[in-house]
Amino acid sequence: MGSYSISSLPDYFKQYRKSIKNPKKFWNRIATENFEWYQHWNKVVEFDMEEAKITWFKNAKLNITKNCIDRHLATRGNKTAIIWEPNDPKEKSQHITYNELHGRVCKMANVLTDLGIQKGDRVCIYLPMIPELAITMLACAKMGAVHSVIFAGFSASAVASRVNDCGAKLIITSDGSYRGNKVLELKPIVDEAVEKCSSVEKVLVVKRTGGKITLKKNRDVILDDYYPKASKDFVTKIMDAEDPFFILYTSGSTGRPKGMLHTCAGYMVYVAYTFKNIFNYEENDIFWCSADIGWITGHSYTLYGPLLNGATTVMYEGTPTHPAPDRFWKIIEKHKINQFYTAPTAIRALAKENYEWVKKRNLSSLKVIGSVGEPINDEAWHWYNDHVGKRKCPIVDTWWQTETGGILISPIPFVTPTKPTYATLPLPGIQPVLMDEKRNEIMGNQAEGNLCIRFPWPSIARTIWGDHQRYKETYFTAFPGKYFTGDGALRDEVGYYRITGRVDDVVIVSGHNLGTAPIEDSINLHPAIAESAVVGYPHDVKGNALYGFVILKEMGESRDKKNLEKEINQVIAETIGPIAKLDKIQFVPGLPKTRSGKIMRRILRKIASGDFDNFGDTSTLLNPEIVEEIKNARIEN
C-alpha cells in the first residue's frame, strides 16, 4: 500500500488546506496510490447539493474484496486477519489468516450463488458476532450482492420491515446466539418475520448454539449442508464505483426504516484512509473495535477499514461484563490489543465497577483508545484516560454517523492535542460549518449552532434506498446547499468542535440511535392508549434514557398502571426491540400542543430532565395549563 499518513500538526494543517483548496487532487492521489482498481475513473467528484446527487470516482471499476483480502495474500497470506473471541472465555478463540479468509469467503460466495443470489440482489444478514457474519458480508461484496446487516437484537417486526423495504431474496441467520449468560434464539424470530416478507426465497442458517430449530421445506437451508462441498474458486465481480455496496438501516423521524445506501468506491477510499490515520495504525498492530458489526461502526472499523489496511481485527461475541466486569480488559491483555475503540456507555458502565477489575489487568499493549456513538462526558473521558490509557494513550473521540460512512471529526493521535469531551478537528476533505436558526452561517470561533457539512466526502451515503425524495428532504433542505447532520455543535476559541447532541427527534440511548416517532407508533398500538410522546433525558450510564408521556383512552383509566407500563414496554420490545424500552412512563391527561397540533417536545424534554427553569415561549400553545400539570406529576426516579 502507498502512504497516506498525517505525521505532525503542521502536516495536518498543510494536508487539510490542500484537501479544501483542491479536493479533486487530494482524493485523486489517495485513491490512486493506495488501492487496486480494474479501471481508473474519469472524474473524481461530481455533485449537486440541491438534488442530493453525488458521484465519486465516476466509471472506476473495482471490488472491495480485492483490496480487503486478495491483494494481501502475496505478502500477508499467513498473517491473522480476524481474531474471533467467543462469549465463553473457555471456548477457544479463532485466528483466521488472510489465506483462510480468502478461502472461506470464496466458498461462501459459491454457496450464495447456489442459493440463487446474483449481483445487485439484496441479502439481509441477521447474525450474532461470529466469523460467519464477516464472511457472509465479504462474500456478498465479492459477488456484488448488496448486504443489509440487521442487528441481531431487533424484533421480528423490525426485521420484517427492513427485509420488505429492501426486497431481500435471502436472509442469513443462525440457530441462536450467546450473549453473556443468555442463549437467544434467532431462527424463530426470522421465521416470524419471513411470514410477512414475500420477497424472501431462502433462509440460510448458520449453526452456533446447536439449539433445536424447525426448517421450512424448499426455503430453509443449513450452511453445513452446502459449505464443505463448495469450491474455493470464485470469480470476483467487477463493480462500478457507484454500484450499491450495502444498505444499513438507521432511525428517522417517521416509523418507516431509513435504509442508508453506501456505494463501492467512495466508501472504500474514505474508510481505509480514516482507519489508518485516526488509529495511527502500523503494520502488525492488533486492532479491536467492540461495536457489533450490525452497526455502521462495526462495518467501517471492525471489518472493512482494518482489512483494507491489511490489519488484524478482533471480533468479540459477548458482553463487556461476561463472566465478570474485567472481560474487556482481559481481552486486551490476552490478544495484546494496540488500539481499542468503544462507546461512552460501555466506559461509564465499566467505570462504575470496582477499580480493581481494570487495575489487575495488563493493558500496556495499548497505544490509542477511541470513543464513538455519543458525546463522552468529562468524567468518563478522564476515567478512560487515567485507568485504561494510563495517560499515555491519546483518546480519539470520533464523531460521525451511519450516513457519513466514516469518521468526519476526530483527533489524529500524536498529532492533534486532545481536549476532554471535544471531537476536535475535521479530517482532511471535511468542511464543517455551524448554521443558525435563520440559516446563516456562523463565522468565527467560540460559536454554537447546527452542524452542517459544506462539501461532499467520498463515503457519504448516496440515497435512502427506494426514497431519494426523503433523502433530499432529510439532509439537504434544512440548510440548502449543505448536508445537515441533525447534531448541534460548538466551536471553541481554537476551532475545536464539541458535539452537543441531537437537535432533532433522534435519541442516542447507550450508543443506539433511536427515533422517537417509531417508538410512539409502537406504543400507540396498545388498545388502551390514545396518544404518546417520547423524549430523551440524561442518564448517568446510558447517556440518554427514554421518558414516555402517555394519554390513555377512557377504557385505560381504570387499568392498573404498573401493568400498563409493563405492557407498553412489551409492545415496544416486540415491535422494535428491548433497546427501545422506556425507563419512565407518565400517564398524562394531555400533551402540550401548538395551534397547528404539533407536540412541543422542547417542553417535554425539559420536564423529563427535571429542568423547570425556563420553558421559553409557550404563547403558541393551545393548552398552556397542561405544562404545570405534567410538571407537577413528573416521575422522579
**Residues linked to residue 258 through DSSP beta bridges, in sequence order:** 250
Site string for ligand WT7, 439-478 (x = CB under 6 A): ----------------------------------------
Site residue total, ligand WT7 (CB under 6 A): 21
Query: Residue 21: how many CB atoms within 10 A of its CB?
Result: 9
CB-nearer residue toward ligand WT7: 263 or 402: 402
C-alpha grid cell, residue 521: 407508533
Q: Is 305 in the site for ligand WT7 (CB under 6 A)?
A: no
**In the bound complex, what is the minimum distance in angstroms from residue 632's beta carbon to ligand WT7?**
32
CB-nearer residue toward ligand WT7: 309 or 371: 371
**In the bound complex, what is the minimum distance in angstroms from residue 422's beta carbon to ligand WT7?**
9
C-alpha grid cell, residue 341: 475503540
CA separation for the pair 84, 134 (Å, rounded): 10
Q: Is 292 in the site for ligand WT7 (CB under 6 A)?
A: no
CA separation for the pair 401, 513 (Å, rounded): 10
Give residues with Cβ within 8 angstroms of 428, minimum separation 6.
6, 12, 15, 16, 18, 19, 26
CB-nearer residue toward ligand WT7: 128 or 375: 375
Sequence letter at residue 383: W
Give the N- to C-terminal CA distance of the chain in Å, as an integer. Answer: 55
* One of 67, 236, 263, 297 touching ligand WT7 (CB under 6 A): 297
Stretch that binds ligand WT7, among 72-80, 429-437, 454-462, 485-493 (CB under 6 A): 485-493
**In the bound complex, what is the minimum distance in angstroms from residue 398's beta carbon to ligand WT7?**
5
CA separation for the pair 6, 279 (Å, rounded): 11
CA separation for the pair 107, 230 (Å, rounded): 5
CB-nearer residue toward ligand WT7: 200 or 534: 534
HSE, CB side, 13 Å, CA atoms: give it for residue 203: 28
CB-nearer residue toward ligand WT7: 34 or 401: 401
Pairing type for strands 529-539 and 286-289 reads: unpaired
Question: What is the maximum alpha-carbon separation in the chain?
Answer: 73
**In the bound complex, what is the minimum distance in angstroms from residue 248's beta carbon to ligand WT7?**
9
Are the C-beta atoms of 348 and 376 separated by less than 8 Å? no
Helix (H, G, I), strand (E, B) or coil at 66: helix
CB-nearer residue toward ligand WT7: 461 or 529: 461
Site string for ligand WT7, 502-541 (x = CB under 6 A): x-----x----x----------------------------
Q: Is 274 in the site for ligand WT7 (CB under 6 A)?
A: no
Query: Residue 192: how many CB atoms within 10 A of its CB?
Result: 15
User: Which of positions 371-410 make contact with ligand WT7 (CB under 6 A)?
Assistant: 372-375, 397-402
Site string for ligand WT7, 88-127 (x = CB under 6 A): ----------------------------------------
Give residues with Cβ within 8 angstroms of 226, minimum separation 6.
111, 114, 115
**In the bound complex, what is the minimum distance in angstroms from residue 125's beta carbon to ligand WT7?**
18
Query: Residue 525: how many CB atoms within 10 A of its CB?
Result: 12
Query: Which DSSP state fits 387?
Result: I
CB-nearer residue toward ligand WT7: 189 or 296: 296
Stretch that binds ligand WT7, among 147-155, 281-289, 387-395, 484-492 (CB under 6 A): 484-492
Rg (CA), the chain: 24
Site string for ligand WT7, 152-191 (x = CB under 6 A): ----------------------------------------
Query: 533, 512, 506, 524: which is closest to 571 by C-alpha?
Result: 524
CA separation for the pair 558, 562 (Å, rounded): 12
Minimal CB distance to ligand WT7: which residue?
Answer: 513
Residue 380: alpha-carbon gap to chain centroid: 21
Locate cell 479468509: which residue? 101
Q: Is 486 in the site for ligand WT7 (CB under 6 A)?
A: yes
Q: Is 499 in the site for ligand WT7 (CB under 6 A)?
A: yes
Are the C-beta atoms of 174 and 127 separated by less than 8 Å? yes
CB-nearer residue toward ligand WT7: 326 or 374: 374
**In the bound complex, what is the minimum distance in angstroms from residue 300's beta carbon to ligand WT7?**
8
Alpha helices in 181-228, H assignment, sequence order: 187-194, 223-226
CB-nearer residue toward ligand WT7: 243 or 374: 374
HSE, CB side, 13 Å, CA atoms: give it for residue 147: 27
Site string for ligand WT7, 413-432 (x = CB under 6 A): ----------x---------
Are the C-beta atoms of 302 and 279 separated by less than 8 Å? no
**In the bound complex, what is the minimum distance in angstroms from residue 434's beta carbon to ligand WT7?**
15
Are the C-beta atoms of 112 and 140 separated by less than 8 Å? yes
CB-nearer residue toward ligand WT7: 514 or 571: 514
User: Which of positions 338-377 make contact with ligand WT7 (CB under 6 A)?
Assistant: 372-375
Give residues with Cβ within 8 angstroms of 632, minimum separation 6.
none
**In the bound complex, what is the minimum distance in angstroms from residue 513's beta carbon to ligand WT7?**
3
CB-nearer residue toward ligand WT7: 35 or 249: 249
Query: Which DSSP state fits 503?
Result: S
* One of 15, 55, 250, 459 touching ligand WT7 (CB under 6 A): 250
CB-nearer residue toward ligand WT7: 191 or 504: 504
**In the bound complex, what is the minimum distance in angstroms from residue 401's beta carbon to ligand WT7?**
4
CB-nearer residue toward ligand WT7: 127 or 291: 291
Sequence letter at residue 14: K
CB-nearer residue toward ligand WT7: 80 or 513: 513
How far, CA to CA in Å, does 312 sit from each of 82, 83, 149, 317, 431? 6, 7, 22, 16, 31
Catalog residues that contact ligand WT7 under the rule CB under 6 A.
250, 296-297, 372-375, 397-402, 423, 485-487, 499, 502, 508, 513
